Amino acid sequence: MVIQQELMKLILKAAGEGIFGLDLNGKHTFVNPAAAQMLGFDVEDLLGKPSHALWHHTKSNGSPYPPEDCPIYGAYKDGRIHHGEDELFWRKDGSSFSAQYRSTPMRTEQGQLIGAVVTFQDITERKRVASQLLEAAKMAEVSRVLGNVGHDIKNMLMPVLSGVELLEGELNELWPKLAESNAKGECRRETMCEELTKMIEHNARRIQDCVREMADAVKGVTSKPYFVSCQVSKVVEGVMKSIQVSAQERDVTLHMKDLEKLPPIEADEKRLFTALYNLISNAIPEVPPGGTVSVTGSVHKEKDRLEIIVIDTGKGMPPDVRERLFTDHAISTKASGTGLGTKIVKDAIDAHGGSITVEST
């Protein structure tokens, strides 16, 4: 009998999972070292003490956990095995961890319930790995979808670009003939059609560049910023030409001020274009008819930096929306919006070593 008791002590001491016994009042009758270590107690601190009040007293939402609702105690109350896959256990220092447990009723040889034996494991690391694997699986699916979407967009863009080239050729042949017939207003129409075809071609090629970046990202290749000398005024002018039609449809006027006075800067023109495009195009739907979106610029007081300001006459935004701008938690108030635009802007500004802020009332 003595040998058996010593053997049981050795088994409990060697076990890697937490093991303890409970009497019919929920007090610890034995505790192995692994259980005490995971809970941050000494074994002596637990023996004879009520288990629930020490390490199972609070729910994950912060509310008290009544002992009568404790499923671990259920084993010596109803005589059935109780188990949990993700239960919150509390350490002595007030921190907590996720545990998987099994509470088994303990009986005498005559079948009388005398308590329960509880085994548990800290599954924090397992949950972290599982979360990483799930995230990796999601990203793999996102990459697959992006690859398919990018491929389809690339194929759909080809006839658009080809069609624009053919249309330009046809119009170039048509305008001289119309001019010969002294058709009124044809000069204005020619200019408008030329601007529209250029805009379509320009934006289509921008989309092509985005699709290439998408394809690179799917293949695990991220393009680094490509810095060259560029003029901010030219970049903003290109953005405004791209969205001029959208602004006119909403009766919104686009303005540039003092940008031509700015010195050239070393910048990734494509990323700079994307940042300004998102800021200006996002502002247009929020501006009432007759309003304006203006872009101004000046040399910053630090001299080696420029300050670019995008101002609109929209209705402004509430503080909770403003605080989430330019973060992963940004949300869109537009029906079809994703909230990604401002995060893309922030990434582009970060790539240039800059900073971005927002003021709104």
- For the stretch 215-260, pLDDT in tens is 665 555 556 788 999 999 999 998 888 888 788 888 999 999 989 9
Other beta carbons within 10 Å of 307: 13
Other beta carbons within 10 Å of 137: 10
Among residues 323, 309, 239, the alpha carbon closest in space to that of 278 is found at 239
Note the CATH number of domain 2-122. 3.30.450.20
- Asked if residue 140 has pLDDT above 60, the reply is yes
Query: What's this model's pTM, rounded to 2 decimal places?
Result: 0.49
Provide the CA 158 distance to its chain's centre, in angstroms.
32
Per-residue model confidence (pLDDT) at position 214: 65
Per-residue model confidence (pLDDT) at position 81: 93
For the chain, what percentages of helix, strand and coil (3-state, to nearest 5) are there?
50, 20, 30
Share of the chain above pLDDT 90, in %: 34
- For the stretch 99-112, pLDDT in tens is 999 999 999 888 89
- Asked if residue 155 has pLDDT above 70, the reply is no
Q: Report the C-alpha gap between 164 and 153 in whole angstroms.
A: 16
Q: Report the C-alpha gap between 341 and 349 in whole angstroms.
A: 13
With 0-12 CB in 10 A as exposed, 13-18 as middle and 19+ as buried, what is 222?
exposed
Domain-wise residue ranges, the chain: 2-122, 138-223, 224-361
Share of the chain above pLDDT 70, in %: 80
DSSP 152-195: HHHHHHHHHHHHHHHHHHHHHHHHHHHHHTT-TTHHHHHHHHHH
Q: What is the mean pLDDT of the chain?
A: 82
Lowest mean pLDDT, pick from 6-10, 45-49, 285-289? 6-10
Per-residue model confidence (pLDDT) at position 181: 61
In this prediction, residue 340 has a pLDDT band, given cuts at 50, 70 and 90, of low
In this prediction, residue 176 has a pLDDT band, given cuts at 50, 70 and 90, of confident
Q: Which is more confidently placed, 152 or 257?
A: 257
- Asked if residue 333 has pLDDT above 50, the reply is yes
Per-residue model confidence (pLDDT) at position 2: 46
As a whole number of Å, the CA-based R_g of the chain is 34
- Asked if residue 61 has pLDDT above 70, the reply is yes
* Architecture (CATH level 2) of domain 224-361: 2-Layer Sandwich (3.30)
Q: Which is more confidently placed, 236 or 144?
A: 236
